[in-house]
Amino acid sequence: MASNNGLLNRWAWRELLHGQIWPVAVALALIITCVFALSALADRIENVLTQQGRNLIAADTVLRTRQPLNTEQIEAFKQAGATVSAQTRFGTMAFSEQKMQLVSVKAVDSLYPLRGDLVLEQNGQAIGGDRRIQPGELWLSERVFSLLDVKAGDTVSIGNLDLTVSGTLAAEPELSFNPFSQMPAVMMHRADVPAAGVVREGSRVRYRYFLTGDEPSLSAAKASYTLQDGERWVDENTSDRTGDMLDRSRQYLSLTVVLVIVMAAATLTLTCQHYAKSRADLVAMLKSLGASQQWVRRWLARQLTLLFVLATAVGLAAGYTLEVLLRLPLTDVLPSPLPSYGWVPWVLAPGVALLVALPALGVPLLKLLDAPALAAVQSQAARGRQRRGTAAILIAIPVGALALWAFDNTLLWTVLGAMAVMIVLLALAGLGLLRLVKSRVRAPSVKLALSRITRNKLASSVQLGALAISFMLLAIIWLLRTDLLADWGRMLPPDAPNVFALNIAPSEQQGYVGKLDDASLMRSDAYPIVRGRLVGKNGERYQIPTDEVERDEVDEALRRELNFTWRDSLPSHNEVIAGDWPTENGVSVEADIAERLGIEIGDNLIFSVTGQDFTATVNSIREVEWRNMRPNFYFIFDRETLADKPANWLVSFRLDESQTPLLNRLAREYPTVTLLDLRTMSSRIQSILRQIGLSLSVLAGLAVISGLLLLLTLLRISLSERQQEINLYRTLGASRTRIQRTLWSEYGVMAFVSGLMAVLGAEAAMVGLLKWGFEMEVRLHPELWAVLPVLAVALVFVTVASMLRKLIDPQRR
C-alpha cells in the first residue's frame, strides 16, 4: 500500500510538472492571486474611503436635530458603547470694541471632533497635539479678524459673555456648503452657551450629536432612540457632497471584483476542459490495462490535492506581492499607516478558487473518470454513463454561495443576467455577420477561413461569443472607471470657484467685479439675487399647514425663501432639457424641483417677493449640476420680470493660497460684502477625488490583466485544438504559406468581428449601468469603435504568431 501511495504521489507530481495539468495549476493560482490582491486592495481602499467619509462628518455617525437631547438619552448612547460629542449651532452677533458682525457659531465640547482634524493656529503656527476648544476661548475663522478688527488676545462679546480670542480656526473636519446662508464662522465651548444668553425659546438653533464606536455599538445606540420629524442620522454614505461619490466607488469596487472572478472562472473552466480532453485516452488506456474505477479516482484525487495545495501556496504568495506592487502608485495619496485588510483575503481567495473549481474541474473530471476502456482502441466508442445530477450539484454550490453573498445586490444580478443574455446575442450576431461577409469575399484564404467558421455553427458561435464577451468585459471595466472619473471631474473641476462674494450692493457691483478683473482672477458672471417664495401654480396657491409636523411633510422649496435671479442667456454650466430659454415674462425651472412639484412647460407660476405677488410662465426645464460649486438656481427669470425687485449681487471666483492678502483687502474695502472662503473644503475634496481616481485606475488595470489572461487562454486552447486538422492539411499537400494565410484570415476575421460585437455589447451595457446602476448621464463612446476592434485583432495576431510555428511544424516542439 505504501509503495502504491508513493507511486501515485510521484505520478501526480510528474503529471503536474510535465503533463497537461500544469496549465490548470497556473489558472487556479491566478484566480487566488487576483482575488487576494483585488480583495485586499479593495478592502484597504474601502476602509480608506470610509475613514475619509467619516472624517468629513467628524464622527462615525451624526444625529441632526432641532431639539436638544436630555441627559438620559445621551447616557443611553454611552451605555450602548458609543462615544458621544455634542454641538450647538446658531447665528448671532459678535461685538468687538470697534465693530460688529453676524456670525455662525459652533459651540462644541472638549471631545470634538471624534474623527478628522481640527486645526487651530496661534501667531501663524498650528498648535500641535490633541488641542481642543476650552471654556472661555473663542476661535475665529480667518476673515472674521478683519471684519471685527481684532487680533489674538482681544475680547469679543457673544451675547452677555466676553470671550478671549485665542487664535485662528484654520480647518475643521465638517464640510458644509451653502453660499446663500452661511455666515463667517466662530467656535466656542458649549459650556459657555448658557452664560451668553443667546439661545432662548424660539431661537433658530440646530443640534448635532456625534457618535463613534464599533458597528454593534452604533446600531445599539441608534436603536435606543426614536427619530422625530425633521431628525435624521447621517453617516459617510449620506454626507451631502461625498456620500454619492463614496457609494459609487464601492459599487465599482464590488462590480470589478465580481467581473474579475467571472473572467478567472472562465479561464479555469477552459483550461480544465482542455485538460480533460487531453487525458481521456490515457484514462481509457489505464482502464483497459485493468485499473479500477476506484484506482483512477484516487489517481485523479492525488493530482487535484497536490494541484490545489501548490496553487494555493503560489497564489497567496503572488497575491500578497501583487497587492504591495499595486499600492505603489497610491503611496502619495493613501494615509499612513494603512488600515489592515485582516484575515478575510487569506480565506476568501482559496475559498473562491475552491468554489469556482468545483464545477470547472469537477464536471470535466467526472466525464474523464467515466471514460470507457474501449475508447483506448476505438475513438468513437460509446460514452460512459452521464452524471447529470452530480454535475448539477457541483454547479449549484458556487451559484448558491454567490446568491447568499449578494442576494440583495440588484446591480450585480442585473449585470450577470445581462451577460448571460448578451453572450448568446453577440454570438448569433457575429455568426450572422460572418455569413453575410462570406458571400462577398473572393480571396481564397479568407473564403476558406470563413467556410470553416460558419461550417460548425455551434462551436463557432461559442468561440465568437466567448471572445466578444471577454473584450466587452474589458471595455466595460475601463469605460466605467473613465466615466466615473469624468463625472467627478465635472463635480469639482480644477478651475472651480473657491470663494463666493455675496450681498454686493447694486451700487458696488461694477466696482467689485472690476477689482477681480484687475487682479486677473478667474470668476463667474455676476448674478443678481432676489429673495422670494414660490406660492402657487396655475391660479391656485399652495396650502402650507401651520402645524409643525404637517409642515415638515411639505416640500422644502415651498416652506422657505428661495434665491431668484435673471439672465439674458443660459448659464454655461446648465443645460436646457425641455422648452426654450425664457422670453418675456418667462421662467426656467430646475429639473429636480420641477419633477417634485409637478411643474411642466406652459404652467403659470405664482411668486412672492417682499409680500408682492407676480406670475411667470414656465418656458424651459434645466438640468443643473449642484455639486460643481458654481452659482446655481432653482428659478431663472428674464430680466424684465425681476428688474423692479430689490436685489443684491453674487459673484464667485478662484483664489490661490498665496492670494489671501487680496481677500483680506477686499474685505476691508467692501465691509458689507459677505465673503465665503471655500479653499480648504475644495482642496480636501480634490484630495479625496485624487485618491479615489488613482485607486479605481489601479483596480481597473488589475481587472484588465485578468481579462487578457482569459483571452490568451481562450486563443491558445483554440489554436492547440487545431493541431490535428493542420496535420491533415499538411498530409494532403497544403503548403505552409496556404495554412498560415488561412489561420491568419480565420482568427483575424473572428477577432475583428468579436471586437465589433464587443463594442455593441459594451455600449449597451454602459447605457444600463450608467442610467440605472450608477444614475449618471448616459453617453456614447465613439473612441471605443475605433480602438477596440484594432486591439482585438492585434492581440489575436500576437497570440497566433507565438504558436504558429509549433502548429505547422509539430516536430519542432
Query: Phi, psi (5° rounding) for residue 426?
Result: -65, -40
Residue 348 corresponds to which amino acid?
A: L
Residue 741, Cβ density class (10 Å: 0-12 exposed, 13-18 middle, ≥19 buried)? middle
Going by their DSSP bridges, the two strands 61-65 and 232-234 should be labelled as antiparallel
Q: What is the mean pLDDT of residues 108-133?
A: 80
**Which among 455, 487, 541, 424 is positioned nearest to 775, based on CA atoms?**
487
Cis check: omega of the bond before 68, within 30 degrees of 0: no
Supply the pLDDT for residue 84: 92
Q: Roughly what angle, to the nearest 10 degrees, separates helices 344-369 and 293-327? A: 150
Q: Which residue has the cell 468561440?
A: 463
Q: What is the mean pLDDT of residues 191-204?
A: 79
Q: pLDDT tens digits, residue range 138-187?
A: 988 877 887 788 888 889 999 888 999 988 887 777 755 454 445 678 89
The confidence band for 384, taking pLDDT boundaries of 50, 70 and 90, is very low
> Which residues touch 433 (CB under 8 Å, ≥6 apart)?
753, 756, 757
Query: Hey, is 701 helix, strand or coil?
Result: helix
Q: Which residue has the cell 475634496?
A: 685
Extract long-range pairs of 13-18: CB within 8 Å, 24+ residues apart.
13/306, 15/303, 16/303, 16/306, 16/307, 16/310
Cell of 469: 464577451
Cell of 737: 504559406
Q: Which residue has the cell 450608467?
A: 770
> Which residues touch 573 (CB under 8 Å, ≥6 apart)?
625, 628, 630, 632
Supply the pLDDT for residue 492: 63
The CA distance from 512 to 496, in Å, is 20
Residue 240 has pLDDT above 80, yes or no: no
Q: What is the mean pLDDT of residues 458-485?
A: 73
Residue 281 corresponds to which amino acid?
A: D
The CA distance from 148 to 140, in Å, is 10
Beta bridge partner(s), residue 40: none
Q: What is the H or E stretch that residue 527 is in?
A: strand 527-537
Q: pLDDT tens digits, residue range 250-261?
A: 667 667 777 777
Q: pLDDT tens digits, residue range 758-790?
A: 888 888 878 877 777 666 777 888 888 888 888
The confidence band for 247, taking pLDDT boundaries of 50, 70 and 90, is low
Cell of 614: 407676480
Residue 699 near residue 42, CB atoms below 8 Å: yes
Residue 209 has pLDDT above 90, yes or no: yes
The CA distance from 498 to 390, in Å, is 64
Q: What is the mean pLDDT of residues 31-57?
A: 75
User: DSSP per residue over 37-106, as a string?
Assistant: HHHHHHHHHHHHHHHHHHHHHTSSEEEEESSPPPHHHHHHHHHTT-EEEEEEEEEEEEE-SS-EEEEEEE
Q: What is the mean pLDDT of residues 394-412?
A: 71
Supply the pLDDT for residue 809: 62
Residue 708 has pLDDT above 90, yes or no: no
- Percent of the chain having pLDDT more than 70? 70
Question: Which range scores top for mean pLDDT: 326-335, 438-447, 639-648, 766-775?
Answer: 639-648
Q: Has this prediction a pTM greater than 0.75?
A: no
Cell of 160: 452677555
Strand positions, DSSP E, 591-632 = 604-609, 612-624
Residue 13 has pLDDT above 90, yes or no: no
Give how far the C-alpha of residue 242 lies from the chain's centroid of Cα atoms, to the nearest Å: 11
Residue 749 near residue 800, CB atoms below 8 Å: no
Residue 757, Cβ density class (10 Å: 0-12 exposed, 13-18 middle, ≥19 buried)? buried
Q: Cβ of 737: how many Cβ atoms within 10 Å?
A: 10
Q: What is the mean pLDDT of residues 795-799?
A: 76
**Which among 346, 353, 327 is positioned nearest to 338, based on CA atoms?**
327
Q: What is the mean pLDDT of residues 25-32?
A: 78
Cell of 365: 473530471
Residue 653 near residue 522, CB atoms below 8 Å: yes
Q: Which residue has the cell 465635472?
A: 490
Q: Which of 45-54, 72-81, 537-546 has the lowest mean pLDDT?
A: 45-54
Supply the pLDDT for residue 813: 43
Rounded to the nearest 5 degrees, what angle is found at the Cα of 152, between the Cα atoms of 146 and 158?
A: 75
Residue 1 has pLDDT above 50, yes or no: no
Q: pLDDT tens digits, residue range 350-382?
A: 888 888 888 877 777 777 776 665 554 444 444
For 269, 329, 690, the CA distances from 332, given in Å and listed in that order, are: 39, 8, 10
The CA distance from 669 to 692, in Å, is 41
Q: Which residue has the cell 510521484?
A: 10
The CA distance from 649 to 312, in Å, is 67
User: DSSP per residue over 530-581, as a string?
Assistant: EEEEEEEETTEE----SSHHHHHTS-HHHHS-EEEEE-SS--TTEEEEEE-S
The confidence band for 59, taking pLDDT boundaries of 50, 70 and 90, is confident
The CA distance from 349 to 339, in Å, is 19
Going by their DSSP bridges, the two strands 100-108 and 185-189 should be labelled as parallel
The confidence band for 811, taking pLDDT boundaries of 50, 70 and 90, is very low
Q: pLDDT tens digits, residue range 409-418?
A: 666 677 677 7
Average pLDDT, the chain: 76
The CA distance from 226 to 204, in Å, is 23
Please indicate whether residue 390 or residue 107 has the higher confidence score (pLDDT): 107
Q: What is the mean pLDDT of residues 444-455?
A: 65
Going by their DSSP bridges, the two strands 527-537 and 540-541 should be labelled as antiparallel
C-alpha torsion sign, points 719, 720, 721, 724: positive
